[in-house]
Amino acid sequence: MELRERVNAAVKQAMKDREAGRLSTLRLINAAIKDRDIAVRAEGHETGVDDTEVLGILGKMVKQRRESAKTYEESDRLDLAEQELAEIEVIEEFLPRALNEAEIDAAVKAAVAEVGAESIRDMGRVMGVLKTKYTGQMDFGAVGARVKDRLAAG
């Protein structure tokens, strides 16, 4: 089932179950997807976003909420931090399982080999391969440093 369909089915179920918090988060997901659809259609793509882009949107939403939760915790606003963490749980239901450290290292090694990367100048191509294959499964901000270290080491 396509991610969009899964989200819509979850919205309907949350409405039936009268789960207000869950429903609110699911509607935020739908709104983010529709916003991106509008932007993509303005660029001339009639079909809107595909599942890969939806995974990117969801990953970005999780990252934003983690940052907000951290800020709220530092400000002793635990109620707001808990709300952000609850939203993360709902969003993560639609993301694939995150890769562990060993799997990330193997993915980076494979991407470097696939591209034939030899220097830091090839970093963009390596990251492009990783983003194509592993969207939603790894934090590309953190992985970028690993790729950079691997390419710098030679």
Which of 92, 112, 138 is the last residue before a domain boundary? 92
pLDDT tens for each residue of 66-101: 999 999 999 999 999 999 999 999 999 998 888 888
- Output the domain CATH number for residue 53: 1.10.1510.10
Give the count of domains, the chain: 2
Residue 69 and residue 124 in one domain: no
Residue 15 and residue 63 in one domain: yes
Which of 47, 68, 92 is the last residue before a domain boundary? 92
Listed in sequence order, the residues at least 6 apart from 119 whose beta carbon sits closer than 8 Å to its beta carbon are 151
Residue 70 and residue 141 in one domain: no
- Output the domain CATH number for residue 144: 1.10.10.410
Residue 77 and residue 127 in one domain: no
Residue 83 and residue 9 in one domain: yes
Residue at token pair 């950079």: 148
C-alpha to C-alpha distance for 91 and 69, rounded to whole angstroms: 15
pTM for this predicted structure: 0.75
Residue 66 and residue 115 in one domain: no
The one-letter code for the residue type at 7 is V
Residue 16 and residue 71 in one domain: yes
- How many Cβ atoms sit within 10 Å of the Cβ of residue 7? 19
Which of 63, 92, 121 is the last residue before a domain boundary? 92
pLDDT tens for each residue of 17-71: 999 999 999 999 999 999 999 988 888 877 788 888 888 899 899 989 999 999 9
Residue 86 and residue 109 in one domain: no
C-alpha to C-alpha distance for 21 and 8, rounded to whole angstroms: 16
Domain around 113: 101-153
